[in-house]
Amino acid sequence: MAKKAKSRTITVRLISMAMTGFYRTMVRPRTHRPLSMLKYDPVVKKQVLFLEATKGGRNK
């Protein structure tokens, strides 16, 4: 039986680089480059860099 097709988009987790443990969840196309953006972190109450968390370091 054929395997189920992979979805076009994936859900990713953007982790705050302020090391607060805060993260945002986003959806991006599977083939897109990893997401990164400046966003507000409510723990430190500042806009900080959020980077996408890699699963086993696949994002290159």
Contact residues for other proteins (CB under 8 A)? 13, 15, 17-20, 33-38, 43-44, 46, 48-49, 51-57, 59-60
Rounded Cα gap, residues 60 and 56, in angstroms: 11
CB 11 within 8 A of CB 35: no
Q: What residues does 11 pair with on adjacent strands?
A: 27
Q: Least distance in Å: CB of 27 to other proteins?
A: 16
Closer to other proteins at the Cβ: 4 or 45? 45
Structure tokens that stand for 2 in this block: 């054929």
Q: Least distance in Å: CB of 1 to other proteins?
A: 31
